[in-house]
Copies of this chain bind each other. A is one copy, B any other.
Amino acid sequence: MTQNVKEIFASSGTPAAAPGAAPAGSSAPAGVTAVAGVPGAPAPAALAAKVRTLAPSMTRSMQRVAEAVAGDPAGCAALTVTGLAELTGTSEATVVRTARLLGYPGYRDLRLALAGLAAQQQSGRAPAITTDIAVDDPIADVVAKLAYDEQQTLADTAAGLDTVQLGAAVAALATARRTDVYGIGASALVAQDLTQKLLRIGLIAHAHSDPHLAVTNAVQLRAGDVAIAITHSGSTGDVIEPLRVAFERGATTVAVTGRPDAPVTQYADHVLTTSTARESELRPAAMSSRTSQLLVVDCLFVGVAQRTYETAAPALAASYEALAHRHSPRGGGTRR
């Protein structure tokens, strides 16, 4: 039965990657073309299968090695040839022989493949984050879940955003004499964010989070001006009121809300819908609504910047320039 496994064809034809690094001759720099098809490294994920196939033709020691490798790619990838040999109770030579048998030029390459496989495996079981954040989640999970949720929110928002409405709002903003933005609570920050950005490209914009002042200012608006209300619930009276005033004064009004049927839309020429993600005890709605609102606001900004590129670009550059001075040139340059 036992055919003479012998020294397998291993070293036979395979040019074996010629690790020696090309003669290089000239000091070819940059390039980065680096092809290196890796001739002897075929097995991507099929490693386990290959192990099963080849197991019969292996000696006992080699089987142990192969088993270990197939059983815990990640763990084995972290081991040196000596480590793996000890782990399996064999010698380095055996490990190398096994690697050869599995189709790699040597252990080094097997190890590389193992690392790849491990990475693949791990990334494969990613969609486990769907659960809510629990009180006893380890911090790493919290990070993963939050990031995932916010990504989801972004995707939802982008998908649900009405580009026609957005375009209309952008057009109004780009030509507005002045722009007022209303937002309260968490939305106040979004309002300020938008305002900051618009100011940077030379537009006249104000954010109001004080309801009285907001209304007072709204009275000043007229046709050609723009008023934007930001409210997730769409029913925050303090924000609706100034928008109503602006609306009645003839300004172009925009509502950024998560409820396209909320009261605020009553006074809005254009409605931009933000997404409403699920919330939980530990993850207040404010978190995802904020993310969503910011994306909308960013879209507004970029849209306006495009339309006013002639003036926006230099303005942006100038404000960037101006800031440079504020950054301590060499700060505490103690360490690099």
Residues of A within 8 A of B (CB): 1, 14-15, 17-22, 24-25, 27-36, 38-39, 44-45, 57, 64, 67-68, 71-72, 74-80, 82-83, 86-89, 111-113, 115-120, 122-124, 133, 135-140, 142-144, 146-147, 150-151, 154-155, 157-158, 161, 163, 166-167, 170, 185-186, 189, 192-193, 196-197, 200, 211, 215, 233, 235-238, 240-241, 244, 261-264, 266, 281-284, 286-287, 290-291, 294-295, 298-299, 302-303, 305-306, 309, 313, 316, 320, 323-324, 326-329, 331-336
Contacts and interface: CB of A to CB of B under 8 A. Distances in A.
Contacts of A64: 29-30
Contacts of A298: 146, 150, 287
A155 B163 contact: no
A86 B24 contact: yes
A48 to B, nearest CB: 13
A56 to B, nearest CB: 10
Nearest to A152: B151
Given A143-B166, A158-B147, A333-B263, A326 B15 contact: no
Given A163-B140, A326-B237, A31 B124 contact: no
Q: How many copies does the complex hold?
A: 2
Nearest to A266: B332
Nearest to A232: B327
B334 A88 contact: no
B238 A25 contact: no
A88 B59 CA distance: 43
Contact of A329 (B1, B118, B144, B291): B1
Given A77-B112, A151-B154, A283 B302 contact: yes
A237 B335 contact: yes
B33 A75 contact: yes
B166 A295 contact: no
Q: Which of A27, A86, A316 has most B Cβ within 10 Å?
A: A86
A167 to B, nearest CB: 5
Contacts of A36: 72, 74-75, 78-79, 118, 122
Given A68-B34, A80-B21, A158-B144, A137 B335 contact: no
Contact of A115 (B112, B136, B287): B112
A166 B238 CA distance: 37
Given A32-B71, A147-B154, 12 more contacts: A15-B119, A17-B78, A20-B79, A20-B83, A45-B123, A137-B306, A144-B158, A147-B155, A150-B154, A186-B196, A236-B326, A284-B316
A7 to B, nearest CB: 13
11 contacts: A20-B83, A24-B83, A29-B87, A44-B122, A44-B123, A78-B112, A115-B119, A117-B119, A137-B306, A237-B328, A287-B298
Contacts of A334: 211, 215, 237-238, 241, 263, 266
Given A151-B155, A305-B282, A332 B87 contact: no
